Structure 1
């Protein structure tokens, strides 16, 4: 075997190792789905705890009214929750829209608006959440993004799970794509979110009792936030970062898929690329911040997640780039590798496993098991999935550049439609 063969073999092992891990997670996630389907929705145990719902919002005039109205429709006792919108240094009409809702539709005691300026705000989601938390009164804290329209039962189901297990530090619900039929990109994202939840969330919960907070539609104990000192304002992926700290405190995070919210996803490639680049940089920050925990016994509960995220953003990314590069160089005659002949067969098998695994995930949602979605999934592999490689590589490059040059990390707000 040549040196190129060894490199290609290592890359193939890394790629297929992660592919098989994901297949196992999908199977475990489907088992959890079948279990949840046979169970009755959770009920609140004892009294209804007071909940503070926080909504960080920067220039969200296009969506904020619909979001607040959905939060006000929760079938949770009205006197037992408050809504705090952190209107974070907005330059649009968000402040006027929120003031109108306060005055005309609902008592101010339930809807509070924090208007920040360039001095106090405009520093990203974590800073906005920390500002909101200072005024929050609830023993439980719920977080919703400004583009969300949660179902009426969402908050009650999240709280119900929390009241039934004192070992839970947070409970995570499910998010769906509100604008899935806008174009081909949003249909890709719709399938991606379904796969992520039943693969990365339900599968990890079923096997390891591990869940990562997704950034919206979740609740935390107030005492947990106080103990960890709030949100890390350097973290672009504040949801993943706080998840690790919750586990290190000895708490668990549970996934309750019956608590559903609908959110707006990017409708253009430019917006999608910027959003996902922020996600990549944020997750790399979290991985590197916590990587030393791999060697600590007390961190064994999150060891799988650390290895999983490290493998995705470092091993998988580098393996995909190396394997593609070697195959192209082999075709051009610059290197020689005897393994190149196996690549078409391995690629075809990978495609089939991707389609099968993704389709299994899609079948967990009513209305998604269609012939059209089979075609979308097949197209995803050769387009959307390859776009992820470009985003991940660019995000890694930008993270390294910003770290070396010590550039200030800037929060990119997803553009609304």
Structure 2
């Protein structure tokens, strides 16, 4: 028990150093925005995929925004993917097709595997463009976003690009404010630091895109995965392609407004990420194309969700050792180590959030930082629940269904 506990403490120390390293780099290190100034070019053809399942509340807003972007219309093809919707999603999409002929080319799926990954796989089979961008149905891109996300692909080593996600319903309640802080830490600090240090920025499944040549080279979208974004990130890394993060390429999303939806979202993310961890940890470790730093960062990124159940096990072991009276000093040290790490947070660490708030120039938001312990505990329990469920039932290849976050916006 003691050796197991100190192994857990060692992991905690590694992740704590990682958070500090990223934050220090973001505040004081050299910042990489290599494609920011590309605004005039011979722009390549781009296809935008919008997976949608029962998205009547948001799909019209998304299509309106995409129709207004600053990109040559003859080189931009919009494909909303309506997958088995039972609400007005199909009706709304078809109305846009009638009003904007030659701009929108819908795919209405009634057969095949359900789920976002399967929908993307089917839609990509008809893509003839060089670049594919993906937006979730509730996202609202700015006018310049398509060019900003396309610019990195002029670099032939780039296989994927990811923009920054910003909540648009921040002022709804405490949860949305806390998620805004978490997103800030994750993107403004975590993702940008990885970009700065030539590590492994993660393609996040939306507000980003892939080069068709790279996607084809690594086998296309997998329809047996719960997290197609993490899956593609690591297959591109193993294949020698780079993923680019564009911190100033912002797109706006609707975050969950109640804790039930938040728990379901976190559990879905954890299940998919854990599946990728099992699949790609060993291949990455022995991959010759990835650098040593990319391997270290990639393995730590794969292990992020595993840290929640590990932390719970550490708490239990430390408390048991302490109250059993065996190695009391070791028990106290372990409890203090675990508690100190918990006070700093796990996913979007508290000090990363603080740095992100400063960088964003919204310093009054720092007053909510203490409340992030609520989000941390909810995530800790939700991720652990999802992980233990996968381990106990061996459901690493769960039956795929549409897992979508509940929408709170009113349909037009």
- TM-score above 0.5, yes or no: yes
- Correspondence for 2:379 among 388, 392, 395: 388
Paired residues of 2:60 and 2:93 also in contact (CA < 8 A): yes
Q: TM-score, normalization: structure 2?
A: 0.89
Q: C-alpha distance in 2, partners of 1:293/1:30?
A: 33
**Equivalent residue, structure 2, for 1:61:** 56
Q: How does 1:160-171 map to 2 (within 5 A)?
A: 160-163=151-154, 165-171=155-161
**Equivalent residue, structure 2, for 1:378:** 370
Structure 2: stretches of 5+ with no match in the other structure: none
Deviation at 1:271, TM superposition (A): 1.2
Assess, with a 3 A threshold, how the Cα gap between structure 1 residues 295 and 102 changes in structure 2: closer, same or farther. closer
Q: C-alpha distance in 2, partners of 1:44/1:313?
A: 38
SS in 2 for 1:87: strand
Paired residues of 1:271 and 1:414 also in contact (CA < 8 A): yes
Q: CA RMSD in A?
A: 2.5
Paired residues of 1:188 and 1:384 also in contact (CA < 8 A): yes
Structure 1: stretches of 5+ with no match in the other structure: none
Q: C-alpha distance in 2, partners of 1:376/1:220?
A: 36
Paired residues of 1:237 and 1:283 also in contact (CA < 8 A): yes
Paired residues of 2:166 and 2:250 also in contact (CA < 8 A): yes
Task: For residues 235-294 of structure 1, give each alpha carbon's deviation from its aligned partner in whole angstroms, at most 9, with x where no partner exists.
Answer: 111001001111222221111112110011111111111111111111111111112214
Q: C-alpha distance in 2, partners of 1:33/1:67?
A: 35
**Equivalent residue, structure 1, for 2:122:** 131
**Equivalent residue, structure 2, for 1:290:** 280
Assess, with a 3 A threshold, how the Cα gap between structure 1 residues 352 and 385 changes in structure 2: closer, same or farther. closer
**Equivalent residue, structure 2, for 1:144:** 135
SS in 1 for 2:360: coil
Q: C-alpha distance in 2, partners of 1:346/1:290?
A: 28
Q: C-alpha distance in 1, partners of 2:381/2:8?
A: 17
**Equivalent residue, structure 2, for 1:25:** 22
Assess, with a 3 A threshold, how the Cα gap between structure 1 residues 293 and 190 changes in structure 2: closer, same or farther. same
Task: For residues 38-87 of structure 1, give each alpha carbon's deviation from its aligned partner in whole angstroms, at most 9, with x where no partner exists.
Answer: x8932156411110000000000000000111111111112220100001
Q: TM-score, normalization: structure 1?
A: 0.88
Task: For residues 295-315 of structure 1, give each alpha carbon's deviation from its aligned partner in whole angstroms, at most 9, with x where no partner exists.
Answer: 42415344124420343233x
Assess, with a 3 A threshold, how the Cα gap between structure 1 residues 410 and 394 changes in structure 2: closer, same or farther. farther
Task: For residues 300-335 of structure 1, give each alpha carbon's deviation from its aligned partner in whole angstroms, at most 9, with x where no partner exists.
Answer: 344124420343233x33441133213444675576
SS in 1 for 2:390: helix
Paired residues of 1:33 and 1:202 also in contact (CA < 8 A): no
**In the alignment, structure 1 residue 307 sits paired with structure 2 residue 299:** yes
Equivalent pairs counted in the alignment come to 402
- Correspondence for 2:109 among 107, 116, 135: 116
Stretch of structure 1 that moved more, 343-352 or 133-142: 343-352
Paired residues of 2:322 and 2:332 also in contact (CA < 8 A): no
- Correspondence for 1:192 among 175, 182, 185: 182
Paired residues of 2:227 and 2:269 also in contact (CA < 8 A): yes
Paired residues of 1:29 and 1:204 also in contact (CA < 8 A): no
**Equivalent residue, structure 2, for 1:42:** 37
Q: C-alpha distance in 2, partners of 1:18/1:348?
A: 12
Stretch of structure 1 that moved more, 351-360 or 175-184: 351-360
**In the alignment, structure 1 residue 362 sits paired with structure 2 residue 357:** yes
**In the alignment, structure 1 residue 172 sits paired with structure 2 residue 162:** yes
**In the alignment, structure 1 residue 271 sits paired with structure 2 residue 261:** yes
- Correspondence for 1:81 among 72, 76, 80: 76
